[in-house]
Amino acid sequence: MAPTDDAVGTVGPTDASAALLDRQSHDGMVVPDYEGYCLANVPGTAAGALGVDVGRSLPAGLPIDIDADVSHVVVVLLDGLGWQRWRRDGNDHRFLSRLAERGAVTPLTSVCPSSTATAITTLHTAATPAEHGVLGWDVHLAEHDDIVGAFPHTVREDVADPAGDRMPTVESAELVAAEPVYPTLADAGVAAHVVQGPETLGTDYADATFRGAEQTPADGPRETARAVRRVLESARGQTYTYAYLPQLDATSHEFGTDSGAYHDALATLTRCLSLELYDRLDSDTAAETLLIATADHGMVDLEPGPAGCLDLSTVDGLTDGLERRPSGEPTPPFADPRLTHLAVRDGAVHDVVDALEPHGVDAFTREEVRELGLYGLDHGPVFERRSGDLVLTHPNRKLVHPAVENVVSHVGMHGGLTPREMVVPFAAARLSDLQ
């Protein structure tokens, strides 16, 4: 039997997570700790270990010396491995348990939404969502009358093009309204590498957000871990390597976060990382390498199918309150199925909120979003142009509409403000201490 979420063992201090949740909770929802223990501050911390300033860092007083004298930093992103799953399963996997026993692990909040497109953009730019403008999977560019998928960089099918293949009127570099960290690293003499699946490299999004880094294709966890080791062992100077592993996220979506498939995926990827970085990496290089492991978000299991969804098109009165596009059609929902934005016509905000209330939806006005600091420390002009007039979430349902029908069958979900989705691990250690 798999251990429960209450099984902590040697993995992670419960007092740290309790303090973070107490500080960042708002009516049962978790808001990002952008000024402190937040994923948005990981790039600044990682680059800072190499003496390079790319932005805000995690607070002083972390349970490990991030200012250690190292030549290499590796940031491993375990997509979907939230804090609660790390606590539950960490002791069963050598890669995770050694990080806890010989390094340090502490909880962080993710960003909003706690979703891959937004969080990954933050990790490559060191910018908050309000700064980089990717406020979810789909970005609303009202000035161009487009809703654009951030990763595929195409106009969303239900907006303007039934074929779903029209290119946006803006380049991906404009869609991501912040510069990547890699040119700054290169200017400081640090060679940057991005290691991930070949299908995700060479795209418009990759060229915009990985600019200044060498894109290294690696298919699956074994090849990814091996590619990281080869980068380290062939280095002729300082290096910064980002490695992305999507397997837990993909498996959780389909089968849930306590399925046999999930546990198999976790065992496989942690075994590959242990083999290449703990067992096969030469000791001299390991002594010069700081390993950071983190996640973009956690996940919550919801009912698959319609039972776990609220179809916004069925909410009486909602469509009537939506802003009209030049064609006369209502602007469809956008951003993320767990943190959805609505563009509302003038004077209709209260009517739309009233229509949603019987369905258990939490709705935030733009002013409330700013007050809560959901998307950053400063909700400036990029946020103002791209945010909806209302931001919606639901504690245990997906908010769906025709453009996101693919998530109806999903079990594992992320993007919302629940603790399971919003709290992620940050683990760090010198690799030689883990061998």
Dist CA 255 CA 235 (whole Å):
39
Question: What range does the domain containing 217 cover?
Answer: 14-130+176-302+417-434
Dist CA 207 CA 205 (whole Å):
5
245 and 321 share one domain: no
- 107, 175, 117, 182: which is closest to 141 by C-alpha? 175
Q: Which residues, listed in sequence order, are joined to residue 56 by a DSSP beta bridge?
A: none
Q: Is residue 254 part of a domain?
A: yes
Q: Is residue 152 part of a domain?
A: no
Span 125-182, pLDDT tens digits:
999 999 999 999 999 999 998 999 999 888 887 654 555 556 788 888 899 999 999 9
40 and 182 share one domain: yes
Span 343-353, pLDDT tens digits:
999 999 999 99
pLDDT at 305: 95
213 and 298 share one domain: yes
Question: Phi and psi of 310, rounded to 5°?
Answer: -115, 110
Q: Is residue 377 part of a domain?
A: yes
Residues of the chain with pLDDT under 70: 1-14, 63-65, 67-68, 158-166
Q: Is residue 158 part of a domain?
A: no
State how many domains the chain has.
2
Q: Is residue 312 part of a domain?
A: yes
236 and 262 share one domain: yes
As a three-state string, the secondary structure of the chain is CCCCCCCCCCCCCHHHHHHHHHHHEECCEECCCCCCCEHHHHHHHHHHCCCCCCCCCCCCCCCCCCCCCCCEEEEEEECCCCHHHHHHHHHHCHHHHHHHHHCEEEEEECCCCECHHHHHHHHHHCCCHHHHCCCCCEEEEHHHCEEEECCCCEECCCCCCCCCCCCCCCCHHHHCCCCCCHHHHHHCCCEEEEEECHHHCCCHHHHHHCCCCEEEECCCHHHHHHHHHHHHHCCCCCEEEEEEECHHHHHHHHHCCCCHHHHHHHHHHHHHHHHHHHHCCCHHHHHCEEEEEECCCCCEECCCCHHHEEEHHHCCCCHHHECECCCCCECCCEEECCEEEECECCCCHHHHHHHHHHHCCEEEEHHHHHHHCCCCCCCCHHHHHHCCCEEEECCCCEEECHHHHHHCCCCEECECCCHHHHEEEEEEEEHHHHC
310 and 400 share one domain: yes
238: which residues sit within 8 A by CB, 6+ positions away?
50, 71, 72, 189, 190, 191
- 324, 318, 298: which is closest to 414 by C-alpha? 298
Span 37-48, pLDDT tens digits:
999 999 999 999
Q: Is residue 135 part of a domain?
A: no
The CATH number linked to 319 is: 3.30.1360.180
The identity of residue 302, as a single letter, is L
191 and 296 share one domain: yes
335 and 298 share one domain: no
96 and 197 share one domain: yes
332 and 368 share one domain: yes
296 and 390 share one domain: no
Dist CA 133 CA 212 (whole Å):
20
Specify the residue for token string 């654009």.
148
Dist CA 164 CA 184 (whole Å):
36
288 and 310 share one domain: no
The neighbour count for residue 143, using CB atoms within 10 Å, is 10
267 and 237 share one domain: yes
The CATH number linked to 284 is: 3.40.720.10
Q: Is residue 371 part of a domain?
A: yes
Q: Is residue 48 part of a domain?
A: yes
